[in-house]
Amino acid sequence: MNQSESCGKVYLVGAGPGDPGLLTLKAKVLLENADVVLYDALVSPSILTMINPRAEQIHAGKRRGRHSLVQEEITALLIEKAQTNAVVVRLKGGDPFVFGRGGEEMLDLIAAGISVEIVPGITSGIAVPAYAGIPLTHRDYSSSVTFVTGHEMAGKYRPQVNWSAIAHGAETIVVYMGVHNLPYIIGELTKAGRSPETPIALIRWGTTPQQQQLIGTFTTIMDQIEATGFEAPAIAVIGAVVDLHDLLQAGQPLLSRTIPPTPISP
């Protein structure tokens, strides 16, 4: 009997963008039957309540500058837990294969002889703009979308993000984890020919009752961030589709609020 047959199975599960109603049925069943769950910082608390109460729960969350566990420790834990438990769930915000390091974890688990399965989730880059009344494509506004990380790992095997190519290659740009580097990103896109008046939306805590957003342009958005105290984590949506926000948001239930240009009370 090989190791994968004698061990349990690891499920890399996408928790979606925050709204528990967007969790897939398969993910919910796995959480209810899990023996061990390693979950990330951005997983909604209401989703954590779905976990089998008898399961071991391990917070493995990662945010900029605040890591509960480093990636190598997470992988080692998954391997260890799979050796003595039948159902091990690695619960990640959004989708594991969209800037979630799911590909890295899956390769490491396969190399260790552990059986592994991916359970996709709705990525925040799609759901969050939708909840803000921003379609990523529209026949009259945008026929192409690029999803890109604004927070790259140092020393990658390939060159850094080619912002010039993105500026010319997509009408809508969705940036994950880009608030910290936003001045640089805007500078690169402007240098490549995007107008300083390009619309941009920043949305945090998307799809939850706490959802907040800033709507502006390349010229205004940094002043808006400073005036409101807006902080990461957030999704940035860049392009003409942002202008549809006011029209489409008016036709939806109040799911979020646009932050006015005044300081947020502590």
Give me the CATH code for the 125-258 domain, please.
3.30.950.10
Q: What is the pLDDT of residue 4?
A: 53
* Model confidence pLDDT, tens digit, residues 46-63: 999 999 999 999 999 765
Q: Where are the domains of the chain?
A: 3-122, 125-258
Mean pLDDT for the chain? 89
Q: Which of 19, 40, 95, 108 is catalytic?
A: 40
Q: Which of these is catalytic: 50, 81, 106, 177? A: 177
Please tell me if the domain spanning 3-122 has the same topology as the one spanning 125-258.
Answer: no
**Which tens digit of pLDDT belongs to each residue from 230-242?**
999 999 999 999 9
pLDDT at 167 exceeding the cut of 80: yes
Our answer to whether residue 40 is catalytic in this structure is: yes
pLDDT digits (tens, 9 = 90+) for 141-158: 999 999 999 986 545 555
Q: Which of 9, 26, 28, 62 is catalytic?
A: 62
In the chain, pLDDT over 70 holds for what percent of residues? 85
3-state secondary structure of 57: strand
Phi, psi of 29 (to 5 degrees): -60, -40
Report residue 226 CA to chain centroid gap: 23
Beta strands 172-176; 234-238: pairing state: antiparallel
Whether residue 99 contacts residue 14, with contact meaning beta carbons closer than 8 Å, is answered with no
Correct CATH for 3-122 of 3.40.1010.10, 3.30.565.10, 3.40.50.2300, 1.10.10.10: 3.40.1010.10
Q: Are 81 and 89 in contact (CB under 8 A)?
A: no
The pTM (predicted TM-score) of the whole model is: 0.87
